[in-house]
Structure 1
Amino acid sequence: MSKHQLKAVYVISVAAELAGMHPQTLRIYERRGLVSPARTQGGNRRYSDDDIELLRRISELTDEGMNLEGIRRVMQLEDENVQLRRELEQAREIALHAIREAERAGARGGGGGDLVPLKQAVAVFGQRPSIFDRD
């Protein structure tokens, strides 16, 4: 049994009441792929607290005048945003770890791996780039 199924405890009538909508609306949202409730062995829908929050979010977006396809796209973008933020945080942690390792290696006199400043230059069209000038 999946984690989602363990948390899915609400029958459709209770889920609809908690989300402030008609049970038929939940069926429509499921057919349109906006929500995927767990199913019992007998095939009955069971909704989780996460599903209820999702239904409330859908309700907010419909109240703002958005159609179901627009809601699907907004929710996809919100999911992508969450994933990208996770990846960014992981990249930051990796970079911070690499910086600390480089600093430790430098403090131990590791040589070879030291960071060296790079000369910066601006190239202007039609002029020889200053990067080729000797210091």
Structure 2
Amino acid sequence: MPPGSSRAVTPLDDDDYPAYTMGRAADMLGTTPAFLRALGEHRLITPLRSEGGHRRYSRYQLRIAARARELVDQGTPIEAACRIIVLEDQLEEAQRINEQMRTQGPQSQSKTSA
């Protein structure tokens, strides 16, 4: 679509929409459903459930699972891979907050402490 044109936003536009079944997600990642279940057991990703109780994954969750697979493929135990990803996420968030505070400068910090 050309820039500026409007179109209806669908659930598939949402990175958090649980669009993929376990089988499809495993195929896309080149892994097994057991690997995805293991990520859930280690609480790295928590898939949503369909009305029938089947696991459904979002694009965001698949990106996390892909990172875990990358680490495991390099020889990292799955437990350690999950912890590394959580720590990477926390570091990224802390850096984002730090940058935000740096760009706001001291004037906004003095307003919040008043």
**TM-score of Structure 1 vs Structure 2, range by shorter chain:** 0.7 to 0.9
1:75 paired with 2:85, answer yes
The alignment status of 1:88 with 2:88, answered yes or no, reads no
Return 25-34 or 48-57, whichever deviates more.
25-34
The structure with the larger Rg is 1
TM-score of the pair, normalised by structure 1: 0.63
Q: 2:68 aligns with which of 37, 44, 58?
A: 58
Task: Count matched residues.
Answer: 95
CA contact (8 A) 2:67 2:85 kept: no
State the match for 2:40 in structure 1: 30
Q: Which runs of 4+ in 1 moved over 6 A?
A: none
Higher relative contact order (CA 8 A, sep 6+): 2
Q: Deviations over 1:61-101 (max 9, x none)?
A: 001111122112211210111111111122112217x39xx
**What RMSD in Å do the two structures reach over aligned CA positions?**
2.0
In the TM superposition, residue 15 of structure 1 has moved relative to its aligned partner by 0.4
Alignment TM-score, normalising by the size of structure 2: 0.73
Secondary structure, aligned partner of 1:46:
strand
Picking from 36, 40, 50, the partner of 2:50 is 40
Percent identical pairs in the alignment equals 32
